[in-house]
Structure 1
C-alpha cells in the first residue's frame, strides 16, 4: 500500500523514547549551568521583564496575568506548573536569594499552600535584575517560541552563578539533580579567586565557599574533609541540623528554643512529629511544645523541659528521630555547553570548580558581547557626530542645497554629493530641525565626538585584551558583592557542637515481662500475676514470658536458623493482644519462633570468663552446637542474624541457654533418646552446622530435648498416641554424643517435646539482690 512503511517496533520505540528522554532532560528537568535556571523559570522571568515590565521598582501585577502571558507566549505546559514554579521562585525559605517578589499568600514554611493565582500579585526582585539587565545589549542568542510567533532567550545573561546561589532539584529520565543553595557573596568571591588563579583547586575555592548556605539556617555537621570530597566529585551526603538554645524560665524551669530547621523540612510536620512523641511519652523529658514564630524574632519552636533535664540529651534524641537532622543528597548534575558554546548536554559529577569555570566562561562571552554592542552604538554615534561636524562647517551651503531641492530624497542626494556623507549621516542631518542645527555649537559637537572616540578606544582596548576583560568582570563581581553583602545563615558546626546520641539516656529503667504467644504476638507488661491472666487472641496461647529491664534486649530464635534482637523498650507496652513479631522483623514464610532469651545480666550474665554464656542449639538432622549469646545482645536489622547453618529440609528444633547444666537429652520422632555431656559439644564463634548429637536414620528426625542438671531437667514428651511420658536424668544412661541412643519402648514414637512450666519473676524479691543464673522457668527459653 502506498505511503505505508514497515519499521521495527523495537527500534521505533527506542528512537522515540530517547527523543522523549532528551526532551525531558534538556527542556524541563535539568538546569542550565550558565544561568542556573530551568526553561519554565527562565520563561517566567523573561516574561515579567520583557513583556510585562515588572521590574522591582514597578507595581506588581496579578499572578494570573503573568501565568497567562507565560503560558500563551512561551510555555504551553499548563498554568499549574507555571504558577508552582513562580511561587517557588518567591519563597524565601526555598530560595537563598528569591528572584520573584510576591505579594499576598505565597505559602509558608509550615507547609501551607499558596493562594490561587487570582488572589496574588508578583514582580521581579531586585536581584533578578542582575539576571536580566543585559538582555538589552544583544548579549545572548534568541530562538523561536513554540508557536514561531515570538522570540525567547536561549539563556539569561546572568551576572552571578545562580545555579550555586539558589540551587535546584529535578528528576529527569535516568538522571536527577539536587544542588543546595550557597551564600551569594561567598560564591562571587570564589569566582574572583578563580579569575586570579585559574589553577586553583577545590580546596582553595572552599576557603571562600565554606559549604551550602540554606535559607532556613541550621548548621552543617559534615566535616570539612567530607565536604571537600563532595565538592570534588559532585555527589555525596551533607548532614544538616536545626539550631537551638536553652532559655531559663526561672524557678528551676527551662525550655529549648529551636531557632532554625534543616532545608526542605516542613515545620508543621516537624511540630506534629515532636508533639506525637510528647503525647506517646517516647521522650518523657519533654512536657509540651508551642510555636512562637514571629516576624521580629524569626523561627521559634519552644519545647518545655522537665526540671533538671539536660537539654543536650533531648536534642540528641530529636536529631536521631526527627527531621531536625537531615541528610541533603548532593548531586551536581546540569546542562553544560560543548566546545561550540551552544549545544547543551547533561553532565553529572560536576565539581565546584567545574560549575564556577563554566559560569566564568559564559560570563566572559557575555561581557565581551556587551562591550561589542556598546562599541557598535558608540561608532554609530561617532559617525553621526562626524556628519554634523562636516555640515556645521558649511551650514549655509547645506541649508541652501536643502531649500533648492525638490524633496527629501533630492536633498539627500545633493548633501551626499556635496559633503561626502553616507546614507546614515544624511538621514540624521535631514531629520534634525534646521533651527536646532543652526543653534548647535561646533565646540559641543567636537567635545562629544572626542568623548565618544575616547570611550570607543577604551572599549577597543578592553576587547583586545583578555586580561583587561577579566579585570572588568572581576570588578563587577566585587561591586555586586558590595551591593548584596549577604551574611551566612547556615553555620559550619565545630566538633563540640555535634551531640552524640545515647539511646539509653531516654529510656526509663523499668522491670518488664515480654510475652510471646504461639502465633507470634508480642507485648510488654510490667507485673504479671499469672500467665493465664494476660490477654491473648482466641485460639492462641502464651509460650514464653521473658523477664528483663527496659534497657536490655530480648533475642528471638526461629526454626529457620535466624535470630532477631530488639530492645525491650521497643516491644509494645499494652494490656491488649500486642503486635505480631512480623511488624518488627522480616521472618521467612512459615518461620516459627522456637526460643527467646533475655540479655538482662540478672538472668543472662555477661562477660563470663570462658566466653559464655552459650546457647545450645539442636537441629532436626540431629546436629548440635554451642554459640555465644554475646553475638545476639545488640539490636539486629529486620533481616536478623544467622545462629545456625541448615541444609535443605533441616530446621532448628531447640535453642536453650546453658547455665549450670552439665548434660543434654535429645529425642527423635522414631522414639530414640540420647543423654550426653554438654562439654562434648563444640563451641563455635558464629553460625555453623555443628556436630552430630543424635544419629537419625531412615527418615527419623530430632524433635528437641532438655538440658540436664538445672531446675527443669526432666524430658517430657508427647507420643504419637497423645500420651505424655517423662524421663529423668537417670532414666537414660550417659553416653558419647553421635550415637542412636536408647529406645525406651519398641513401638513408641514421639510427636513433640513438651515445654517446661513458665515461672514468673517476683520483682519485689529480685530488686536489689545479686544477679542469679537464668532458668527456663524465668522465660529464658520458649
Structure 2
C-alpha cells in the first residue's frame, strides 16, 4: 500500500505539471493526405529540349556568377538536340502540354524527374499518356488557375479558339480535348492570354494578320473555334504569337532566308481577313518554314532536312520591312531545306573573365 501511495502522489504531481489540453485529436477516420501535402514547395529550373526531353533541378544548384563567367552545364544533349525552353516554376505549379491532335495533358512540376545538372532528362512521351501518333506542339507553365485568363489556340487551317483557363484545371491522365479539329487540320500553337492582347498569325505562303483578342469570343472546351485568317489555296498557318511592341517578328524560309520586322509594321485588321504580306516569297527564298517572336538579346537554332544545325544571334539579323525577301541566314545545298527554328533558352558559354568589368 505504501508503494501504491507513492505512485498516486507522483501521478498527481505529473497531472499538476502537465495537465494542459490534449494537443492531438482522436477521430473516427484519418483525413486524406495528398502527395502535394508532403512535397515541399520550392522553385525549380525546368529544362525542355528540342527533341522532347524534360527534367527539373532546384534553383539552388545554379549559383550567381559574375558577368562573363563560364556558367554551368545545365543539361547534356545529343549533338542534334538542344535546350529550347528553360523556365523557373514551383514544384506545385502545372505544365499544360498541347498536341497536334488538339488534346491537352497536364503535369505537376514535382512529377518531372529531378536529375543532375548534366543529365539529359526523360522523354516527355514516357511521362505523359500520349498516343503514338500524337506530337507535342506547345507547352504552357501555369502557376495558378484563375478567372480572367484564357488558353488561346490556333490551327494550321487558320482556326482560332479561346477557352477559359479554368476548364483545364482538372485533366485526367489520358488528356482531354482542347479543340475539336476539322478533318486534316492540326493544332499548331497555344498561348496563355488575358483577354487584352493582340494576335499575330503567319502563313506558309507569306501572309500575316494581326487582330485584337477581344474579337475572339470565349468558347467551350470541345468547340471548333472561329476563323482567324482566310487562307488561299494550299496555304496554312505556321505560327501564332501574341504581340509585344518591344519584340520583333522573325520569319525564316525554306531556303535559309530570314528577316526581322517590327510588329508596328502590321496594322490591326478584323479577324478572319486575308491579312497582309509578311514576306515576299520568291523561287530564291522559298515559302515560310517558321515565325517566332524574338528580341535583340535572343539566339536561335535553325535545323535542316539533312540534320545540320546553325546557331545565330538575333542582333545579327537585320530589321527590315514586310514586303521583302530577307537575307541569307544559312547556306544550304540545293536538295536541302529548313525544317525547324527554335529560340535558345541557354546562352553560349563564354571563357571565364572574358567579359569581366574593369
> Is the alpha carbon distance of 1:745 and 1:581 closer, same or farther for their aligned partners in structure 2, counting shifts above 3 Å?
closer
User: Which residue does the alignment assign to 1:656?
Assistant: 191
Q: CA deviation at 1:751?
A: 1.0
**1:717 aligned to 2:258?**
no
Matched, 1:584 2:127: yes
Q: Relative contact order (alpha carbons < 8 A, sep ≥ 6): 1 or 2 greater?
A: 2
- Aligned counterpart in structure 2 of residue 733 of structure 1, from 247, 267, 270: 267
Tell me the alpha carbon deviations over residues 494-532 of structure 1, each in whole angstroms, 9 at most, x when there is no partner: 972243123222001110122211221111122357797
Partner of 1:571: 112
- Cα deviation, residue 660, structure 1: 8.0
| Correspondence for 1:548 | 89
Cα deviation 1:363-397 (Å, max 9, x = unaligned) = xxxxxxxxxxxxxxxxxxxxxxxxxxxxxxxxxxx
Distance of 1:711 and 1:495 partners within structure 2: 59
Equivalent residue for 1:647, pick from 175, 182, 186: 182
Name which of 670, 675, 693 aligns with 2:228. Answer: 693
Offset at residue 744 of structure 1 (A): 4.1
- Would you say 1:501 and 2:52 are equivalent positions? no
Q: TM-score, normalised by structure 1?
A: 0.31
Q: Paired residue for 1:359?
A: none
What residue number does 1:751 align with? 289
Which has a greater percent of helix? 1
Distance in 1 (CA, whole Å) between partners of 2:88 and 2:104 is 18
Contact 1:520 1:580 in 2 (8 A): yes
CA deviation after TM superposition for structure 1 residue 547, in Å: 2.3
| CA pair 582-724 structure 1, distance change in 2 beyond 3 A | same
5+ residue gaps, structure 2 = 1-22, 64-70, 299-342, 346-358
* 1:535 Cα offset (Å): 2.1
Asked whether the 8 Å contact 1:661–1:707 carries over to 2, the reply is no
- Rg (Cα) greater in structure: 1
Higher strand content, 1 or 2: 2
Residues 1:631 and 2:172 are matched in the alignment: no
What displacement does 1:721 show?
2.2
Matching of residue 519 in structure 1 with residue 51 in structure 2: yes
- Residue 103 of structure 2 corresponds to which residue in structure 1? 562
Q: Which residue of 18, 27, 42 maps to 1:510? A: 42
Could you tell me how far 1:565 is from its partner in structure 2?
Answer: 0.6
Distance in 2 (alpha carbons) for counterparts of 1:525 and 1:651: 33
Q: Is the 8 A contact 2:245 2:263 kept in 1?
A: no
Residue 537 (structure 1) aligns with: 78
> Could you list the per-position Cα deviations for residues 266-322 of structure 1 after superposition, in whole angstroms to 9, with x for gaps in the alignment?
xxxxxxxxxxxxxxxxxxxxxxxxxxxxxxxxxxxxxxxxxxxx999xxxxxxxxxx
- Counterpart mapping for 1:112-191 below 5 A: none
Q: Is this contact kept in 1: 2:196–2:212, CA < 8 A? A: no
Unpaired stretches in structure 1, ≥5 consecutive residues: 1-309, 313-493, 760-776
Retained in 2: the 8 A contact 1:519–1:540? Answer: yes
Deviations, residues 740-767 of structure 1 (Å, cap 9, x unaligned): 11124443531112364799xxxxxxxx
Distance 1:566 1:533, change over 3 A: closer
Instruction: Please point out which of 176, 180, 204 is paired with 1:669.
Output: 204
| Residues 557 and 546 of structure 1, relative CA distance in 2, 3 Å threshold | farther
Structure 1 pair 590–517 and aligned structure 2 pair: CA distance change class (3 A): farther
Query: What is the CA-CA distance between 1:778 and the residue it aligns to?
Result: 12
Q: Say if 1:746 and 1:580 are closer, same or farther in 2 by CA, change over 3 A.
A: closer
Q: Encode CA deviations 1:192-213: one digit per residue, 9 max, x unaligned.
A: xxxxxxxxxxxxxxxxxxxxxx
**Residue deviations 1:580-633, cap 9 Å, x none?**
1122222223432222222214xxxx43xxx32112211000000111222223
Report the Cα distance in structure 2 between the residues aligned to 1:532 and 1:753, rounded to whole angstroms. 29
Contact 1:719 1:752 in 2 (8 A): yes
8 Å contact kept, 1:664–1:678: yes
Instruction: Name the residue aligned to 1:320.
Output: none
Distance of 1:744 and 1:499 partners within structure 2: 59
Take 2:149 and 2:344, find their aligned partners in 1: how far apart are those partners?
Answer: 16
C-alpha distance in structure 1 between counterparts of 2:278 and 2:31, whole Å: 64
**Quick check: 1:662–1:677 contact (8 Å CA) kept in 2?**
yes
3-state SS of the aligned residue for 2:277? Answer: coil
Query: Structure 1, residues 636-674: CA drift from partner, whole Å, max 9, x if none?
Result: 333211111112221111111124862111111011111
Shift of 1:543: 2.1
Q: Match of 1:615?
A: 151
Count residues with an aligned counterpart. 263
Write the distance in 1 (CA, Å) between the matches of 2:40 and 2:279: 54
Partner SS, residue 265 of structure 2? coil
Which of 217, 221, 225 is the aligned partner of 1:682? 217
- Does the 8 Å contact 1:666/1:694 carry over to 2? yes
Aligned CA distance change for structure 1 residues 711 and 692 (closer, same or farther; 3 Å): same
The secondary structure found in structure 1 opposite 2:129 is: coil
Counterpart of 1:742? 276
Distance 1:755 1:526 in 2: 28
1:419-438 equivalent positions in 2, closer than 5 A: none
Whether the aligned pair in 1 keeps the contact of 2:200 and 2:242 (CA below 8 Å) is yes
Q: Deviations over 1:704-728 (max 9, x none)?
A: 121114654x221101221122232
Q: CA deviation at 1:692?
A: 0.5
Whether contact under 8 Å (1:661, 1:710) holds in the other structure is no
Q: C-alpha distance in 1, partners of 2:122/2:24?
A: 33
**SS of aligned partner of 2:28:** helix
RMSD of aligned Cα (Å): 3.0
- Matched residue SS, 1:591: coil
Deviation at 1:568, TM superposition (A): 0.8
State the distance in 2 between where 1:535 and 1:661 align. Answer: 39
Cα distance in 2 for partners of 1:587, 1:573 equals 21
Q: Do the aligned partners of residues 638 and 501 (structure 1) sit closer, same or farther apart at CA in structure 2, a change above 3 Å counting?
A: same
Q: Is the 8 A contact 1:705 1:715 kept in 2?
A: no
Question: For 1:702, which of 237, 240, 243 is the aligned residue?
Answer: 237
Counterpart of 1:595 in structure 2 is: 138
Distance in structure 2 (CA, Å) of the matches to 1:728 and 1:705? 16
